[in-house]
């Protein structure tokens, strides 16, 4: 369990505050995370890392000279939102562009991808890289689907050292990709972890067993095995990792390897030293050269009893960059770099975003949209437990909680935008950022995309009608499919959003009013949500347990249909005529 906390909902925020206070000479808090509190080389590339809280020292503990310039920090086990990432990136930017780096999880991919596009639109050169070192999470043929775990440290460190020496953004990205290609991790778990205030572990492992290859959030691994001796574990992990020589390495003999033995929370240093004692013998027998070894906690999972082993196949350049000096709260090596305190004014300029004003007509329409936001928020709150139960069939059961957090934040942000004179577009965009910030995870990212796209398309000048709303929904669907990579039939909310959008377009093309078109399309959404029960999930955390979900609808699809229905209830049928002469769909 987790023993020390106040209100569980405040845990992440209080943790960050305490961390920054304890390491004020190295890091400074900004909206969305932390950045270096020391000056960086002018015009150099900024490395911004991030992910969910609960994995310390990933990610905030790796911010400092020689390593990351900033870390975006989401809620517990939830991705930071695109707005949080952008805030950290703006503060960390040195003028040479930004490389966003994160573990390969659906929510992180969505949010960091959105942030990248937003930063580019602001004139900040930006690239992304998802670390994929966990060999248990997908086959070598599908290595792009692998999770990012303790190998994060290797890829982050190499990229940061390249940035420190003055490489361009393109050069830093190239070397980071090479580090990722040459890094492999395999882990195991003996028991699950427990969130602050939770009565039960987030996941569990049968007594006397270990989850071989289990992920740091409880994702399924390769198999459940009887607990083995340290020597037997060392043989299993070493042989499995050495069998995956990266491209360009024909066999392990003579290769120079870096090794990381990582404890996930409850397995302590003494045990890791015993394990390393056995691993070293295995590596020596294999004929490799042990160029560097780090033992400790680098990516954790609260009180999870587990550990992982990472190998990185060095070439001369990678080894030199890995060995370069660094000084952060949780990782240091080599001689200390000179550290000059950063000017506070530079950071404060990135934190305030003005409220765009709406026309009189758009402000009046925003009042009606606010009523719809209130209605959909109440619907989500009422059904949060039900949505969590649906999600728990094959997922981690947090969909209802995440949706509830997101929608409450969106409701508050929308009210503030309305009070400040925002139109429909501003109201929806503020709600989008707040939902993504607080909801976290994949659903937070997706609803951020949906609402932000709707707000951008509808704007702050005109009164929405059937045509403009249908066009906006069509654009939102395209955005979700682009950033989320989901397709029809993958058992996601796309299986509701796409047919809903198509039905709304068709109704608007026929000249139906907005309310008539929405009600008609809402019926399609309800039917489509139920039909997802016959699908098998092909992406996301439910994919490894796909068979379990057969017969149960997708939680995201159900919540999407609920929200569409709640909005329909706010629309009296027969008003707001559309524009029949303007076709919405080709």
- The set of catalytic residues is 217
Asked whether 215 and 77 are in contact (CB, 8 A), the reply is no
Q: How far is Cα 115 from Cα 215, in angstroms, rounded to an integer?
A: 26
* DSSP H/E element including 106: helix 106-121
Local structure of 84: helix, strand or coil: helix
422: DSSP letter: B
Question: In sequence order, what DSSP letters do the residues of 434-461 get, joined into one string?
Answer: HHHHHH-HHHHHHHHHHHHHHHHHH-SS
Q: How far is Cα 135 from Cα 440, in angstroms, rounded to an integer?
A: 26
Q: How far is Cα 227 from Cα 218, in angstroms, rounded to an integer?
A: 17
Angle (CA) 520-526-531 rounded to 5° is: 130
Q: Where are the beta strands (DSSP E) in 84-180?
A: 98-103, 126-131
Provide CB contacts within 8 A for 382, sequence distance 6+: none
The alpha carbon of residue 364 and the mean position of all alpha carbons in its chain are separated, in whole angstroms, by: 36
Q: How far is Cα 238 from Cα 283, in angstroms, rounded to an integer?
A: 7
Provide CB contacts within 8 A for 348, sequence distance 6+: none
Q: How far is Cα 92 from Cα 52, in angstroms, rounded to an integer?
A: 19
Question: In sequence order, what DSSP letters do the residues of 176-197 get, joined into one string?
Answer: HHHHHHTEEEEEEEEE----TT
Q: How far is Cα 37 from Cα 556, in angstroms, rounded to an integer?
A: 40
**How many CB atoms are located within 10 Å of the residue 346 CB?**
12
Q: What is the token pair recorded at 350?
A: 């990135």
Rg, Å, the chain Cα set: 25
């Amino acid at each position: 369990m987790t023993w020390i906390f106040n209100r569980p909902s405040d845990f992440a925020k209080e943790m960050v505050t305490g961390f920054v206070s304890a390491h004020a000479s190295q890091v400074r808090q900004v909206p969305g995370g932390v950045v270096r509190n020391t000056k960086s080389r002018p015009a150099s590339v900024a490395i911004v890392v991030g992910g969910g809280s609960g994995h310390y020292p990933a990610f905030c503990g790796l911010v400092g000279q020689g390593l990351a310039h900033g870390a975006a920090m989401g809620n517990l086990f939830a991705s930071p939102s695109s707005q949080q990432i952008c805030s950290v990136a703006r503060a960390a930017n040195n003028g040479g562009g930004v490389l966003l780096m994160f573990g390969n999880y659906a929510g992180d991919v969505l949010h960091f991808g959105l942030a990248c596009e937003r930063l580019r639109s602001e004139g900040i050169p930006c690239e992304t890289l998802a670390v994929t070192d966990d060999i248990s999470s997908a086959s070598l043929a599908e290595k792009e689907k692998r999770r990012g775990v303790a190998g994060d440290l290797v890829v982050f460190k190499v990229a940061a050292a390249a940035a420190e020496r003055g490489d361009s953004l393109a050069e830093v990205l190239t070397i980071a990709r090479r580090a990722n290609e040459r890094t492999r991790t395999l882990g195991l778990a003996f028991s699950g972890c427990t969130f602050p205030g939770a009565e039960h572990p987030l996941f569990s492992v049968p007594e006397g067993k270990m989850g071989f290859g289990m992920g740091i959030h409880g994702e399924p691994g390769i198999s459940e095995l009887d607990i083995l001796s340290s020597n037997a574990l060392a043989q299993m992990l070493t042989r499995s990792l050495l069998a995956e020589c990266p491209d360009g390495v024909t066999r392990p003999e003579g290769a120079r390897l870096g090794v990381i033995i990582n404890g996930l929370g409850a397995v302590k240093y003494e045990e890791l030293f015993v394990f390393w004692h056995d691993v070293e013998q295995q590596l020596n027998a294999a004929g490799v050269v042990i160029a560097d070894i780090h033992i400790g906690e680098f990516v954790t999972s609260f009180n999870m009893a587990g550990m992982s082993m990472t190998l990185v196949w060095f070439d001369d350049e990678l080894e030199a960059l890995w060995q370069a000096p660094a000084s952060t709260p949780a990782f240091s090596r080599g001689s200390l770099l000179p550290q000059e305190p950063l000017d506070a004014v530079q950071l404060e300029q990135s934190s305030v975003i003005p409220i765009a004003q709406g026309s009189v007509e758009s402000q009046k329409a925003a009042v009606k949209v606010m009523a719809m936001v209130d209605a959909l928020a109440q619907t989500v709150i009422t059904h949060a437990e039900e949505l969590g139960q649906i999600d728990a069939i094959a997922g981690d059961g947090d969909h209802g909680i995440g949706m509830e957090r997101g929608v409450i934040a969106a409701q508050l942000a929308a009210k503030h935008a309305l009070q400040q004179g925002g139109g429909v577009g501003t109201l929806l965009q503020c709600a989008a950022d707040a939902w993504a910030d607080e909801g976290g995870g994949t659903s937070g990212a997706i609803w951020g995309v949906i609402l932000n796209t709707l707000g951008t398309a509808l704007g702050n000048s005109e009164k929405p009608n059937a045509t403009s709303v249908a066009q906006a929904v069509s654009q939102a669907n395209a955005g979700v499919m682009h950033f989320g990579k989901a397709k029809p039939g993958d058992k996601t909310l796309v299986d509701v959003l796409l047919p809903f959008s198509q039905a709304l377009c068709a109704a608007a093309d026929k000249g139906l009013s907005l309310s008539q078109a929405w009600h008609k399309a809402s019926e399609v959404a309800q039917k489509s949500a139920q039909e997802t029960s016959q699908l098998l999930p092909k992406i996301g955390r439910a994919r490894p347990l796909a068979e379990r979900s057969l017969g149960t609808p997708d939680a995201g699809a159900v919540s999407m249909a609920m929200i569409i229905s709640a909005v329909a209830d706010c629309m009296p049928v027969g008003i707001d005529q559309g524009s029949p002469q303007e076709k919405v769909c080709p």
